[in-house]
Amino acid sequence: MIGKMLSTGFSLATMPARLAFRSARAMAMTPAEFTQFMDELRGASDEAVREIQFLLASVDDEMERKTAHLSNEQKQQAALLALDAAEKHLSMAAVNILRAVWLALNSNPELPAARRGETIDQQR
């Protein structure tokens, strides 16, 4: 379930960039290509909604089973503990991401060699 959450989170986090790219690409499309693009966009949006709904239903089902025996006060205490743990884990995850980026940037100060391929100038 955590893997699915991360996958969904990544998918949602990158959605603005993907939409911006697709929007820029849509400016040069024919009407038929634009219709196909809109169908793909609708499909991707529907899929994201289904994944989020499935994730929420899974969490709801799991928590109903695991907390059926707890009182409301115990559920509130558990919620506070879970929020505290989540805050610590997210903070550490952010620090680890920064460390990984720093290490990646500082492990090889030279830029990689340019890939051989067609450039915009060669397309003319």
Dist CA 48 CA 13 (whole Å): 12
**Comparing 39 with 22, which gets the higher pLDDT?**
39
Choose among 59, 76, 81: nearest CA to 8.
59
Q: Give the mean model confidence (pLDDT) for residues 26-41.
A: 78
**Residue 102 DSSP class:** H
Residue ranges per structural domain of the chain: 1-66, 70-109
Dist CA 102 CA 96 (whole Å): 10
Mean pLDDT across the chain? 77
Contact (Cβ atoms closer than 8 angstroms) between residue 51 and residue 8 = yes
**Quick one: pLDDT at residue 73?**
94
- Residue 124 pLDDT greater than 50, yes or no: no
Dihedral pair phi/psi, residue 101, rounded to 5°: -65, -45
**Quick one: pLDDT at residue 25?**
62
**Quick one: pLDDT at residue 80?**
94
